[in-house]
Amino acid sequence: MNGNEVIRRLKAEGWRQVRVRGSHHLMDKDGKVIPVPVHGSKEIGKRLLAEIERQRGVKF
Protein backbone atom coordinates (compact mmCIF):
# COMPACT_ATOMS: atom_id res chain seq x y z
CA MET A 1 0.00 0.00 0.00
CA ASN A 2 1.49 3.36 -0.95
CA GLY A 3 1.06 6.74 0.75
CA ASN A 4 -1.68 7.98 -1.58
CA GLU A 5 -3.80 4.91 -0.85
CA VAL A 6 -3.37 5.42 2.90
CA ILE A 7 -4.40 9.08 2.61
CA ARG A 8 -7.44 8.14 0.52
CA ARG A 9 -8.59 5.64 3.18
CA LEU A 10 -7.95 8.07 6.03
CA LYS A 11 -9.98 10.80 4.29
CA ALA A 12 -12.85 8.33 3.81
CA GLU A 13 -12.86 7.86 7.61
CA GLY A 14 -13.06 11.60 8.30
CA TRP A 15 -9.37 12.46 8.67
CA ARG A 16 -8.34 15.77 7.10
CA GLN A 17 -5.03 16.86 5.67
CA VAL A 18 -3.54 19.57 7.88
CA ARG A 19 -0.41 20.33 5.88
CA VAL A 20 2.27 18.92 3.64
CA ARG A 21 5.92 19.33 4.47
CA GLY A 22 8.14 17.86 1.80
CA SER A 23 6.86 14.37 1.13
CA HIS A 24 5.10 13.96 4.49
CA HIS A 25 1.38 14.64 4.68
CA LEU A 26 0.00 15.31 8.16
CA MET A 27 -3.50 13.94 8.74
CA ASP A 28 -5.63 15.13 11.68
CA LYS A 29 -8.78 13.87 13.40
CA ASP A 30 -9.98 14.69 16.91
CA GLY A 31 -6.64 16.18 17.89
CA LYS A 32 -4.61 13.17 16.72
CA VAL A 33 -2.04 13.82 14.00
CA ILE A 34 -0.60 11.05 11.84
CA PRO A 35 2.28 11.69 9.43
CA VAL A 36 1.98 9.75 6.16
CA PRO A 37 4.98 9.63 3.81
CA VAL A 38 4.17 9.89 0.10
CA HIS A 39 7.01 8.88 -2.21
CA GLY A 40 5.21 8.30 -5.50
CA SER A 41 4.15 4.69 -5.93
CA LYS A 42 6.68 3.38 -3.39
CA GLU A 43 5.11 1.06 -0.84
CA ILE A 44 5.01 2.00 2.84
CA GLY A 45 6.94 -0.43 5.05
CA LYS A 46 5.12 -2.99 7.19
CA ARG A 47 6.23 -1.44 10.47
CA LEU A 48 5.17 2.08 9.54
CA LEU A 49 1.85 0.83 8.20
CA ALA A 50 1.28 -1.05 11.48
CA GLU A 51 2.09 2.10 13.46
CA ILE A 52 -0.41 4.15 11.42
CA GLU A 53 -3.03 1.44 12.04
CA ARG A 54 -2.27 1.50 15.78
CA GLN A 55 -2.64 5.28 15.98
CA ARG A 56 -5.80 5.16 13.92
CA GLY A 57 -7.36 2.39 16.00
CA VAL A 58 -8.41 0.05 13.15
CA LYS A 59 -6.73 -2.04 10.47
CA PHE A 60 -6.61 -1.20 6.77
Contact 43, 2 (CB under 8 A): yes
Domain count, the chain: 1
What is the residue range of 33's domain?
3-56
pLDDT at position 45: 94
Residue 30 has pLDDT above 90, yes or no: yes
Which CATH number does the domain housing residue 17 bear? 3.30.920.30
Mean pLDDT for the stretch of residues 19-29: 96
CA-to-CA separations, 7 to 31, 32, 44, in angstroms, rounded: 17, 15, 12
Phi first, then psi: give them for residue 53, nearest 5 degrees.
Answer: -60, -40
33-57 pLDDT, tens digit per residue, is 999 999 999 999 999 999 999 988 8
